[in-house]
Amino acid sequence: DRLFGTLDPPVKERDILRIEAPLGTFFLREDNVRPIVLLAGGTGFAPIKAIAEHIFHQRINRGEGEKPARPVHLYWGVRSARDLYMAQLPDAWARDEPNFHYVPVLSEPQVADAWRGRTGFVHCAVIEDLPDLSSFQVYACGAPLMIDAAKRDFVGQCGLPVDEFFADAFTTQADLVSA
């Protein structure tokens, strides 16, 4: 069939199908009212993008009925401007979605980038803008070093409750070789 491809025997009406859903812990906690920081390092933007799109689809940033609006701050750190592989998308979100803020950060801007935006470590940009994270939730995705530094500094310097930091660290082959 169209959903599962060709199965043998074919799926029939009323057949019982067993599936295993994703088992991870990196998902938006919707039962919370805290403002949200989405922290993406490089290609860590992909899972962060999925969370942001879910926020918009569920209108979490707008508030509905009894639920207050939850402001969302997206920080996306990359080496150079060419690494912002979907730069127009978060720009459009910042333009079109209420309570959404986007800050791209380059750690190694190139002269050709003619970059006038933020530079340095992406988690340091969060600390500069939001020095008190005690009322926030943070969702971070990227390299393990970035995740570890963000958690350490957000909890230690900015008062983020440790149980409000959620992360998905990408381990690369280089990480495994150096371990």
CA-to-CA distance for 151 and 167, rounded, in angstroms? Answer: 9
Structurally, how many domains does the chain consist of? Answer: 1
User: Quick one: pLDDT at residue 19?
Assistant: 77
Query: Residue 26 domain-assigned?
Result: no
* Residue 97 lies in domain: 36-178
Element at 155 (helix H, strand E)? helix 144-158
User: Quick one: pLDDT at residue 22?
Assistant: 64
Terminal-residue alpha carbon distance, the chain: 45
CA-to-CA distance for 24 and 145, rounded, in angstroms? Answer: 20
CATH code (residue 69): 3.40.50.80
Question: What residue ranges of the chain have pLDDT lower than 70?
Answer: 1-8, 21-23, 171-179
Query: Residue 10 domain-assigned?
Result: no
Query: Residue 19 domain-assigned?
Result: no
Query: Residue 130 domain-assigned?
Result: yes
User: Quick one: pLDDT at residue 140?
Assistant: 98
CA-to-CA distance for 165 and 52, rounded, in angstroms? Answer: 16
Query: Residue 29 domain-assigned?
Result: no
Query: Residue 13 domain-assigned?
Result: no
User: Quick one: pLDDT at residue 1?
Assistant: 44
Residue type, 19: I
The model carries a pTM of 0.85
User: Quick one: pLDDT at residue 57?
Assistant: 95
Query: Residue 45 domain-assigned?
Result: yes
User: Quick one: pLDDT at residue 4?
Assistant: 57
Residue 101 forms beta bridges with which residues?
Answer: 73
Query: Residue 16 domain-assigned?
Result: no
